[in-house]
A and B are shown apart, each in its own frame.
Chain A
Amino acid sequence: MSGDEKPQGTPQTPGTGAGGASGPTGASNPGTAGTAFGPQEIARRDVSGSTAGRAREGMFGIQGSGDTSGFGGLRLPGYAPAPAERPYGGWFDEVADEAAAALADDGGADLDTCVHQVTVDRGEMTWYVDREHLVRLARTLRDDPGLRFEFCSGVSGVDYGEGVPQQLHVVIHLLSMTYRRRLRLEIALDLDDARCPSLVEVYPTADWHERETWDMFGVVFEGHPSLTRILMPDDWNGHPQLKSYPLGGIPVEYHDAEIPPPDQRRAYT
């Protein structure tokens, strides 16, 4: 993957949620269309400070290049969830208004500072939160009578893989049993600065979830009462759910052959 190369041609506009995968990258990028072999430059939208998915290339699936076989080097830009514009629709606006009012009341940073992007996709709302404001925002979401996200379903991590700015995400699912609403908070982190404030003081249930996220992704939750490994043995090295964590191949008893690790096998995407 040519992660560090500059974007070439017109930056791709990611699809709005569904259907973004099949965008005709070749057609809108004349500089690379038709050159099927060798390392490809990948048109990538600048997603710094926001959220991102891995850019992908593969052998099949290209359209619009004039090559009817479909073979031609598939190149897809990194997926970045599109920011939602007001009105979000449904109860989403109500929650945003209520949170903005509640945050304004106690005099700290306002909602736009705490949440740098709102995405509404497939009927789910995601707030991309700045980590400095996470605990205060969570406390507001939990305690405000108009919000009442009193239940934390879980905290987990996502590693979007190498070449993605802020590849490590902490995902928090909140539930308001009072209003029967679900909200996702997401914090994007750099791999070499994987630190995030702990939510245990607001949601005690986050304890084990955060230990698991530390164990699997190496995210340090600052303020956690005892951030130790939970699934792996105490003396384990590395964080297995990271995409960079090496996978083992399978040795076979035939001419020193080895079945390569799963991430090095032929893939179609």
Chain B
Amino acid sequence: MSTRDDTQTGTPSDPYAATSRETTEGTVYTVTGGDWDEMVDQTAGDERIVINMGPQHPSTHGVLRLVLELSGETVTDARLVIGYLHTGIEKNCEYRTWTQGVTFVTRADYLSPIFNETAYCLSTERLLGVEVPDRAATIRVLLMEINRIGSHLVALATGGMELGALTGMTNGFREREEVLHLLEFLTGLRMNHAFVRPGGVVQDLPEGHEERIRSFVKVMRGRLPGFHKLLTGNRIWRQRLEGVGYLPLDGCLALGVTGPILRSAGLAWDLREVDPYLGYEHYDFEVPTDTAADSFARYLLRVEEMSESLKIIEQALERLEPGPVMVEDAKIAWPARLSIGADGMGNSLEHVRRIMGQSMESLIHHFKLVTEGFKVPPGQAYVPIESPRGELGAHLVSDGGTRPLRVHLRDPSFVNLQAAPAMSEGGMVSDVIAALASLDPVMGGCDR
């Protein structure tokens, strides 16, 4: 924070000694290493301390840096520094085809990749003016809800870890492993699936998906109540969370906060319910809300939302009728028929045989569509969806070419993090951790 300049108060031989310098706001001490007592002696009653927390810190929920000004143990001023995971995803998309863009946006919020893909694809489809087939929409819903469970489990697990509830963490990650196994079976990858594509999904679900999903639902039905047993009634858990990170409804609206945090303040705002997309209006589910507006309410909402997701998954399985999973338009849909070959995933032999041996036009079309991509009529679109963390929207601008002119993800982590100072100032340092954990920011999505 400061360079070691004028008044050297420590002994010159000790490189880790505290130093101090005079500023217009008083004496500023720079502390490194284990000379805390010495520093406290020097401050002599003036206990206003600015500490830096993160970006590498196990309880900042990723590479998030906090600059906290403390008076005793009370936080008087909190500032958040982000950008440590900025990877230029939005810029990269401008030099890739619309289809390739999916593989980039899926990596933004890495705990909810299916949501990133779906938001991006829904926006692309609005620009294209196409509607995905029913089966593709249902598969998207199915995958999103499975993904939502996984994401909420990580929120509980890391939140538990940050507060010292390590069994919450091990249980949360154990359950999430079920989610990842299932997603791997369904899409081929545990994360960064790139399974949802403009026009539908990349391929149909594999054989035996129904049994796997049903057994997953059964397992989760058995295990989710475990969180109530482990945490909900736990006195330490409740004392750490109740009344902590309070953010009322007007604060949420002013700061643009959405998702479980907004619902914990009493507004049943869930885009699946109020502005349905992909046929969510046909599913029967509840939007859990609370009025406590604190971290404990958000924890409860996440547990309840997982149960609701299980309900949606079961209904989606019922709705899964045979049919195409990609739009019919050959100008958009990739002609490839993927299959699992000896070398992992590749084009199916029949497809290769056809394009190589029988139809030159098919080969040209395949080549052009894959290398050049499809053209998207000029204009712009913004389609928001309800991600586990709130409103996730993709604002896409096309100039009529085969590459986006602009891709912008309105990521809920980025927006919700702005509320952290409002939630934590005036509280204790330990409550900052609880408040942050209840926001559940994912820095990959925040920084993009």
Contact = CB atoms under 8 A, between A and B. Distances in A.
Interface in B316-375: 371-373, 375
Contacts of B267: 177
A122 interface: yes
B86 A79 contact: no
B21 interface: no
B381 A21 contact: no
A76 interface: yes
B159 interface: no
A263 B91 CA distance: 11
A205 B91 contact: no
Given A173-B395, A205-B256, A154 B415 contact: yes
Interface in A174-224: 177, 180, 182, 184, 203-205, 207-209, 212, 216
A128 interface: no
Contacts of A230: 82-83
Interface string A237-269: 000110000010000000000000011000111
Interface in A11-51: 15, 17-22
B126 A122 contact: yes
A54 B399 contact: yes
Contact of B378 (A21, A161, A182, A268): A21
B72 to A, nearest CB: 26
* Chain A: number of interface residues, binned into ranges: 35 or more
A103 B56 CA distance: 50
B19 to A, nearest CB: 23
Most A C-beta atoms less than 10 A away, residue of B88, B379, B402: B379
Interface string B72-85: 00000000001100
Nearest to B408: A156
Contacts of B391: 153
Contact of A241 (B91, B382, B400, B401): B91
B84 to A, nearest CB: 9
B410 interface: yes
Given A21-B375, A124-B381, A154-B395, A76 B400 contact: yes
Interface in A70-121: 76, 79, 81, 121
B379 A18 contact: yes
Contacts of B448: 231
A124 B397 CA distance: 13
**Which bracket fits the contact residues of B?**
35 or more
A154 B378 CA distance: 22
B389 to A, nearest CB: 14
A152 interface: yes
A153 B393 contact: yes
Interface in B59-112: 82-83, 86, 88, 90-91, 95
Contacts of B405: 53-54, 158, 160-161
Among B91, B378, B414, which residue has the most Cβ atoms of chain A within 10 A? B378
Contacts of A225: none
Contact of A79 (B254, B378, B393): B378
B256 A152 contact: yes
A177 B275 CA distance: 10
B32 to A, nearest CB: 21
A247 B92 CA distance: 10
Contacts of A158: 380, 397, 405-406, 408
Given A53-B405, A180-B274, A203-B254, A122 B379 contact: yes
B353 to A, nearest CB: 28
Contact of A171 (B127, B371, B384, B395): B395
B402 A269 contact: yes
Nearest to A233: B83
Contacts of A262: 95
A71 B379 CA distance: 26
Nearest to A123: B126
A18 B83 CA distance: 36
Given A20-B378, A268-B371, A269-B375, 8 more contacts: A17-B379, A154-B410, A156-B408, A171-B380, A171-B395, A184-B380, A205-B254, A231-B86
13 contacts: A20-B377, A20-B379, A20-B400, A122-B129, A122-B379, A154-B256, A160-B405, A173-B410, A203-B254, A205-B254, A205-B257, A208-B414, A269-B402
3 tightest A-B CB contacts, nearest first: A205-B256, A21-B400, A269-B401
